[in-house]
Amino acid sequence: MSIHRDPDADDIQLYSDLPPPIHLPTSELLEHYNPNVLAPLVRCSKLPFRHLTSLYETHITHTPMILAEEFSRAQVARVSDFSTSSSERGVYWMTPSTSSSSSPKKRGKEAIRVNHPDDDRPETPNELITYYNPPSTHSDRLPPTPTPPTRDAVLVRGNVIAQFASPNAKSLVDAAELISPYVDGIDLNCGCPQRWAYNEGIGCALLRKPELVRDMVRAVKQRMGWGWSVSIKIRIDPDQRQTETLIRNALASGISYLSIHGRTRHQPSTDPVNLDGIKFAVETVKGEVPCTGNGDIWTYEDVLTMRERTGVKGVMAARGLLANPALFANYSSTPPHAISQFISLSTTYGLIFPLFHRHLAYMLESDFSRNEKVWFNCLSSSTAAIDWLEGRGLDWRSARGSIWDARRGRGVVSAL
């Protein structure tokens, strides 16, 4: 896609001239664009947090793990477990990984920082950056800048994947059909290590049930169509033969892509991630489908290392994004505007206080003194948490109702 720019055009004109973003199946997005991925987080990757990370170069986001049996049977479970908006997927300038502009000597895929407007915006009392409206009135997002950062960059729309845990094919198929109008595919959890999950026959219990995994994926494909995205997320096995058997059965079932967490079922998160184990899984796939790697992604340097050492196409972060939702945009820690945006998103979409409080605690932990942590942990409402942050100098109300995703560009809308 070649975009010609009028050097005299302002942002309004440049944004109006943009072509529509391409919308790729998740496997193609992984194969050709090396995207960044938000992992399915237990309870924490709800809509406000997914939307937040999508503002900072997180191209594929996952819902929390949803129990397929409950989701398929009960409306109350569907309302509780899943919500979405037409605005949560980002639109990004992305350069194809096979682009002629890429150099084989260059390490991994470097981050191209498209700064948030608040990073260097001069103080202008009458200026208002308006970048969010309720989903009912706006369904499309624009990229952070109307100008492509590289010659070969194209506009690509992000993807949202629903992750399910299920002990059988019927519940998974029913859940997939119910959620299909709102997501870009589903992921089958084969990696949750918690004892209760194992006892229920879900998560890691599936790691050594390769035939069941194969049948579950096939069943979804038969109901939804073989072109619809169905992936699985696994942990490595201490016995590599078990990993190989699981992967070969998954490939035979027609999975769209594979996500690999580099720890075994019994390893705690304090153990270092096994990059060689991820590499083995990638090599077992033999390029039949793209892979994502997960584990110990705390900095953008870790992103580059994961790609370089394992050969994965996508890099998935979990705890790293909880601590710093702007990690993939190459911020070293959570920037203040991410805190402001999270508050605005949470109060707009609605987020229960325990999750609201937990997310803020994760994001602010590195900035808190010991006494501040104790004090913050004692707060009992969202209002109290917001008031406390405002007392520390956080100004989020000046941009209230406007969450930066550049829907109107940078400095395009001025206050009357």
DSSP string, 217-272: HHHHHHHH-TTS-EEEEEE--SSHHHHHHHHHHHHHHT-S-EEEESS-TT--TTSP
Token pair in block for residue 222: 């038969």
Confidence of residue 125 (pLDDT cuts 50, 70, 90): very low
pTM over 0.95: no
Last residue of one domain, picked from the residues 329, 344, 372: 329
Q: Within a domain: residue 159? A: yes
| Residues 345 and 285 occupy one common structural domain | no
Q: Within a domain: residue 176? A: yes
Q: Within a domain: residue 11? A: no
| Residues 239 and 93 occupy one common structural domain | yes
Average pLDDT over residues 152-156: 92
Q: Within a domain: residue 15? A: no
**CB contact at 8 A, 205 and 190:** no
Residue tagged 């700064």 (tokens): 115
CATH assignment of the domain containing 303:
3.20.20.70
Higher pLDDT, 16 or 301: 301
Q: Within a domain: residue 131? A: yes
Confidence of residue 103 (pLDDT cuts 50, 70, 90): very low
Question: What phi, psi does 209 have (nearest 5°)?
Answer: -130, 60
Question: What phi, psi does 159 have (nearest 5°)?
Answer: -120, 150
Antiparallel, parallel or unpaired: β 154-157 and 91-94: antiparallel
| Residues 399 and 282 occupy one common structural domain | no
Last residue of one domain, picked from the residues 280, 303, 329: 329
Question: What phi, psi does 389 have (nearest 5°)?
Answer: -65, -40
Q: Within a domain: residue 2? A: no
| Residues 48 and 76 occupy one common structural domain | yes
Q: Within a domain: residue 183? A: yes
Token pair in block for residue 65: 């793990």
Cite the active site residues.
Answer: 192
Residue-wise pLDDT for 164-206, tens only, equals: 999 999 999 999 999 999 999 999 999 999 999 999 999 999 9
Higher pLDDT, 117 or 174: 174
Last residue of one domain, picked from the residues 313, 329, 345: 329
DSSP string, 118-169: HHH----TTB-------TTT------S-SS-SSTT-EEEE-EEEEEEE-SSH
Token pair in block for residue 308: 């370089």
| Residues 339 and 358 occupy one common structural domain | yes
| Residues 263 and 186 occupy one common structural domain | yes
Query: Distances in Å between the alpha carbon of 374 and those of 122, 364, 402?
Result: 35, 13, 31
Q: Please, what is the average pLDDT of the chain?
A: 84
Residues in the chain: 416
| Residues 46 and 182 occupy one common structural domain | yes
Q: What is the pLDDT of residue 157?
A: 93
**CB contact at 8 A, 289 and 258:** yes
What span, in angstroms and rounded, lies between the C-alpha atoms of 135 and 130? Answer: 14
Residue-wise pLDDT for 276-324, tens only, equals: 999 999 999 999 999 999 999 999 999 999 999 999 999 999 999 999 9
| Residues 263 and 344 occupy one common structural domain | no
Confidence of residue 368 (pLDDT cuts 50, 70, 90): confident
| Residues 300 and 360 occupy one common structural domain | no
Question: CB-based contacts of 352: which residues, under 8 Å, 6+ apart?
Answer: none
396, 397, 399, 402: CA torsion to nearest 10: 100
List, in sequence order, every residue forming a beta bridge with 234; answer none if it has no partner: 190, 260
- Residue 258 CA to its chain's centroid (Å): 15
Q: Within a domain: residue 44? A: yes
Evaluate if residue 137 carries a pLDDT over 60: no
| Residues 316 and 344 occupy one common structural domain | no
The number of domains in the chain is 2
| Residues 50 and 154 occupy one common structural domain | yes
Highest mean pLDDT among 118-127, 177-186, 394-403: 177-186
Residue-wise pLDDT for 51-92, tens only, equals: 999 999 999 999 999 999 999 999 999 999 999 998 899 999
Average pLDDT over residues 235-256: 95
The angle subtended at Cα 29 by Cα 23 and Cα 32, nearest 5°, is 125
222: domain range?
Answer: 20-105+149-329
Evaluate if residue 327 carries a pLDDT over 90: yes
| Residues 373 and 228 occupy one common structural domain | no
